[in-house]
């Protein structure tokens, strides 16, 4: 994928503040045959949602809403608000958020917050690397999915992997987890040192810089596309990208099982493949024990693309995969909830401007609406519906630079 023109979140917020004083600042809204959509109001960047709660930021300040974003009575000063790359609201209301290589937690509706020191697998403090360019510390915690926590045997567990080595600086690739509502965050898995994404000081990393990652692990990747939980197996799955550069494949499916009594993980690489395979993918969702995913296949033709599903035990048997729909474009973001399957086009790879892939009947019928008024955008970080039934979606310029936030409400299936 090629990167589009830079649009920083600071620039977005400055633009929003200026346009808020004009009639043109009215949030854009509309509908397609399958859903209604609306843009967030100007002035804040609504970064995540959970039930009726929402977390947002503006320059120098963070905010919390408890009424689906209609009011923002809870806020705090935070100098690096414009650098926030990730946030998540836990079931108990705790808020975890991150800027580059730093992770924070608030347990009291933003009255206070503190920095969290991540723990390495041996229990020691995990210290981020010293970046060659301080302006590019790495996207340690940024991730593509909106759903990053699940009920695991009656207890909420937060597990996610970082999508990095594109912007923000070279970054080691890790899967993180928390079993205590964000108070303690640990590393579940660390990938090896990929020499193609070492720290050269550039936004995406490159060759001949400082190596990052676990030197004892020979499994390499560029970044993590998704992590998801399958209750039927009590197991987690992760998928990665991005290519094959002479040191083995970077596109993997991993399966991890967590032992709560020992606080330990067992991971295995289930399959590794080339970039034009269906195994280069994202948007993993488990519904009644069946895994759904969307292919991010690119590189040399032919491309093995589509929205797929299968029994996890049949993952290695392509003849047992069901291709529900082929959008004929790469995609790494998808959510499945209440009978709706919502996925997204990657803007640099499609003829659409802001393209979606949607089915409101679990894959029986499909459409690919284009929200042209937003320009060339890639939808990412699809959050589960809030208390009023709206999915939250990042729109990214290129395929990863922050731009707008929109909300989508599915229409009833015909």
Which parts of the chain have pLDDT scores under 50? Answer: 1-23
The whole-number pLDDT of residue 16 equals 45
Instruction: Kindly tell me the burial class for residue 189, based on how many C-beta atoms sit within 10 Å of its own C-beta (0-12, 13-18, 19 or more).
Output: buried
Q: How far lies 152's CA from each of 100, 264, 289, 367, in Å?
A: 28, 15, 14, 34
Tokens representing residue 310 in the block = 């299968």
The whole-number pLDDT of residue 233 equals 98
CA 232 – CA 295 distance, rounded (Å): 23
pLDDT single digits (tens) 225-268:
999 999 999 999 999 999 999 999 999 999 999 999 999 999 99
CA 26 – CA 34 distance, rounded (Å): 23
CA 16 – CA 43 distance, rounded (Å): 5
CA 284 and chain centroid, separation: 11
The whole-number pLDDT of residue 22 equals 35
Q: How far lies 119's CA from each of 54, 62, 192, 312, in Å?
A: 27, 26, 18, 31
DSSP 310-364: E-GGGTT-GGG-EEEE--SS----EEEETTEEEEE--GGG-SSSBBEEEESSTTS
The whole-number pLDDT of residue 282 equals 98
The whole-number pLDDT of residue 114 equals 98
Can you list the domains of the chain with their CATH numbers?
9-410 (2.130.10.10)
The whole-number pLDDT of residue 36 equals 98
105 membership: H or E segment, kind and range: strand 102-106
The whole-number pLDDT of residue 35 equals 98
Residues 6 or more apart from 313 whose CB is under 8 A from it? none
DSSP 34-77: SEEEEEPPTT-EEEEEETTEEEEEETTEEEEESSTTS---EEEE
């Amino acid at each position: 994928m090629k990167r589009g023109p830079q649009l920083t979140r600071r620039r977005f917020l400055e633009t929003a503040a200026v346009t808020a004083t004009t009639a043109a600042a009215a949030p854009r809204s509309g509908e397609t045959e399958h859903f209604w959509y609306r843009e967030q109001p100007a002035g804040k960047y609504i970064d995540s949602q959970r039930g009726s709660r929402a977390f947002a930021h503006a320059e120098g300040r963070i905010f919390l809403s408890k009424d689906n974003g209609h009011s923002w009575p809870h806020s705090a000063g935070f100098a690096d608000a414009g650098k926030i790359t990730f946030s998540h609201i836990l079931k108990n209301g705790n808020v975890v958020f991150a800027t580059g290589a730093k992770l924070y937690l608030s347990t009291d509706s933003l009255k206070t917050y503190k920095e969290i020191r991540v723990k390495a697998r041996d229990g020691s403090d995990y210290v981020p690397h010293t970046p060659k360019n301080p302006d590019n510390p790495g996207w340690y915690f940024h991730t593509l999915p909106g759903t990053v926590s699940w009920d695991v045997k009656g207890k909420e567990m937060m597990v996610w992997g970082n999508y990095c080595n594109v912007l923000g600086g070279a970054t080691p690739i890790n899967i993180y987890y928390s079993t205590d509502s964000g108070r303690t965050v640990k590393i579940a898995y660390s990938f090896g040192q990929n020499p193609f994404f070492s720290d050269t000081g550039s936004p995406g990393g490159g060759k001949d810089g400082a190596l990052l990652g676990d030197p004892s692990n020979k499994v390499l990747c560029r970044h993590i596309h998704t992590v998801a939980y399958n209750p039927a197996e009590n197991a987690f799955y992760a998928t990665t990208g991005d290519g094959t550069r002479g040191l083995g494949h970077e596109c993997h499916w991993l399966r991890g099982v967590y032992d709560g009594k020992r606080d330990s993980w067992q991971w295995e690489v289930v399959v590794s493949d080339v970039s034009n395979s269906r195994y280069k993918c994202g948007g993993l969702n488990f519904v009644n024990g069946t895994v759904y995913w969307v292919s991010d296949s690119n590189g040399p033709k032919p491309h093995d693309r589509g929205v797929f599903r299968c029994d996890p035990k049949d993952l290695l048997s392509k003849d047992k995969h069901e291709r529900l729909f082929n959008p004929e474009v790469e995609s790494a973001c998808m959510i499945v909830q209440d009978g709706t399957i919502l996925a997204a086009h990657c803007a640099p790879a499609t003829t659409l401007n802001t393209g979606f892939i949607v089915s409101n009947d679990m894959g029986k019928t499909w459409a690919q609406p284009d929200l042209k008024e937003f320009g060339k955008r890639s939808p990412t970080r699809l959050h589960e519906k809030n208390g009023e039934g709206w999915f939250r979606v990042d729109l990214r310029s290129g395929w990863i630079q922050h731009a707008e936030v929109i909300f989508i409400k599915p229409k009833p299936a015909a």
